[in-house]
Amino acid sequence: MKKTPLFSWHEAAGAKIIDFGGYLMPVQYNGIIAEHRCVRSAAGLFDVSHMGTFFVRGAGAVDFLQHMTTNDAAGLRDGQAQYTLMLYPDGGIVDDLIIYRIAEDTWFMIVNAANMEKDFEWLSRHAGSFAGVTLENRSGRQSLVALQGPKSIGILERVFPAEAWRELEPFHFRKVEFDGGEVFVAATGYTGERGVEISVSSESVEKLWKTFVAEGESSGLQPIGLGARDTLRLEMGYPLYGHEIDSGTNPLESRLKWVTRLDKPDFIGRDACLAVERVPRKTVAGFVMEERAIPRQGCLLFDSDGEEVGTVCSGTMSPMLQQPVGTARVLRSVMKPGTPLFLEVRGGRYRGRVVKLPFVTRS
């Protein structure tokens, strides 16, 4: 099992540790509900150093990324980031990721932990077709910390006081110095709250983490585990690889058409996406339960006539709504908000209804 450089800190803090993507990671410290609400009301600090981190360099980097990803990388400028996808030729999703343009010939990307080896192999397989493009896998040597919540920017200003962080726009990033090295601070995150994700060398991450803990104490900052990270992203309707998206799903049937730029030059999987665009059959929809039953991945959903219409992708008891919520891959015929659905759990069927995502709207 792998460990992040912060493992000893998590262990000393009393975190419950689980296996996640081949890493020993904290799932909770003081309870998932309490940690979830802390992020919504104050600020939370997440160790996400298990994520894969790659560099793409060379004069052909832009053309390479345009070919490998679905969004329009050519539209980015230095200091901007972008949520995007990599697809197989049949339109199945290799992974969802964020790419960062440091310079025209230098890019940084963050991928899902469980997919990092597969992703790097996929990128390497195609890089040779683009002159001068080189790849570097810095996973393990580069760490990632997320600071999220309405009080996060105030805490960030105390740690890096020389920068005007409130002017940093979403999906933009800045380079700052910490502990003698370069740190990337990006206005991105997976909670729906305002915040940043910070890429730092693994040698310096513990010092940075402890600095945030000390500076954020007066603002109610708490360390947050992967359990609350999942409930936070689900309340916002954000996809998670292995749940809402995987190698068998097409982005146009997964609420991800907005990052699938079919009008740009050819990319891997484009033809398959065009075919689905002509005849879409399914989508991912949100639903809430009107009876006390918790939706779990793989549970079946039925319409009012008893016909099977979908399968649950993710589900939980929303800490903010105090109501069971879930996402499901459903037929488009039942995607309209207000449509009744029936969740099958252990032989019983329980009433719910389709709702518009996200479940929780944050300012």
- Assess if residue 79 is contained within a domain: yes
180 with 77, same domain? no
CATH number at residue 344: 2.40.30.110
pLDDT of residue 31: 98
pLDDT tens-digit readout, 325-358: 999 999 999 999 999 999 999 999 999 999 999 9
What average pLDDT does the structure give for the chain? Answer: 97
- Assess if residue 252 is contained within a domain: no
- Assess if residue 261 is contained within a domain: no
When pLDDT is averaged across residues 17-31 and rounded to a whole number, the result is 95
When pLDDT is averaged across residues 163-187 and rounded to a whole number, the result is 97
With left for phi above 0 and alpha for psi between -120 and 50, is residue 78 left, alpha or beta?
A: beta
CATH number at residue 103: 3.30.70.1400
pLDDT of residue 225: 98
pLDDT of residue 265: 86
Instruction: Say if residues 100 and 186 touch (Cβ distance below 8 Å).
Output: yes
pLDDT tens-digit readout, 201-213: 999 999 999 999 9
Instruction: Say if residues 109 and 97 touch (Cβ distance below 8 Å).
Output: yes
156 with 170, same domain? yes
Q: How far apart are alpha carbons 77 and 64 in whole angstroms?
A: 16
When pLDDT is averaged across residues 281-306 and rounded to a whole number, the result is 97
- Assess if residue 225 is contained within a domain: yes
Which of 105, 136, 167 is a domain's end point?
136
Does the pLDDT at position 296 exceed 70?
yes
Q: Which domain holds residue 36?
A: 2-49+140-235
pLDDT of residue 363: 54
43 with 179, same domain? yes
pLDDT tens-digit readout, 215-270: 999 999 999 999 999 999 999 999 999 999 999 999 999 999 999 999 998 999 99
Q: What is the DSSP string of 279-327?
A: S--EEEEEEEESSS----TT-EEE-TTS-EEEEEEEEEEETTTTEEEEE
Does the pLDDT at position 192 exceed 90?
yes
- Assess if residue 245 is contained within a domain: no
- Assess if residue 208 is contained within a domain: yes
Question: Is the bond preceding residue 223 a cis peptide, omega within 30 degrees?
Answer: no
pLDDT of residue 361: 87
pLDDT tens-digit readout, 252-265: 999 999 999 999 98
pLDDT of residue 362: 74
202 with 189, same domain? yes
β strands within 21-172, DSSP E:
23-28, 44-47, 52-57, 80-87, 93-103, 106-111, 134-137, 142-148
Task: Count CB atoms within 10 A of the CB of residue 53.
Answer: 20
Does the pLDDT at position 124 exceed 80?
yes
Per the listing, tokens 């060379």 go with: 58
Instruction: Say if residues 324 and 288 touch (Cβ distance below 8 Å).
Output: yes
When pLDDT is averaged across residues 122-139 and rounded to a whole number, the result is 96
Q: Give the contacts of 127 (CB within 8 A, at least 6 positions apart).
A: 64, 133, 134, 135
The backbone torsions φ and ψ at residue 322, rounded to the nearest 5 degrees and listed phi first, read 55, 45
27 with 155, same domain? yes
When pLDDT is averaged across residues 127-154 and rounded to a whole number, the result is 97
32 with 151, same domain? yes
- Assess if residue 125 is contained within a domain: yes
- Assess if residue 260 is contained within a domain: no
When pLDDT is averaged across residues 269-295 and rounded to a whole number, the result is 97
Predicted TM-score (pTM) of this structure: 0.96
Radius of gyration of the chain from its Cα atoms, rounded to whole angstroms: 21
45 with 56, same domain? no
Structure tokens at 203: 């040698």
345 with 289, same domain? yes
Q: How far apart are alpha carbons 291 and 103 in whole angstroms?
A: 52
Q: At what angle do helices 116-127 and 61-68 cross, to 10 degrees?
A: 120
18 with 72, same domain? no
Indicate the number of domains in the chain.
Answer: 3
| 341 Cα distance to chain centroid | 27
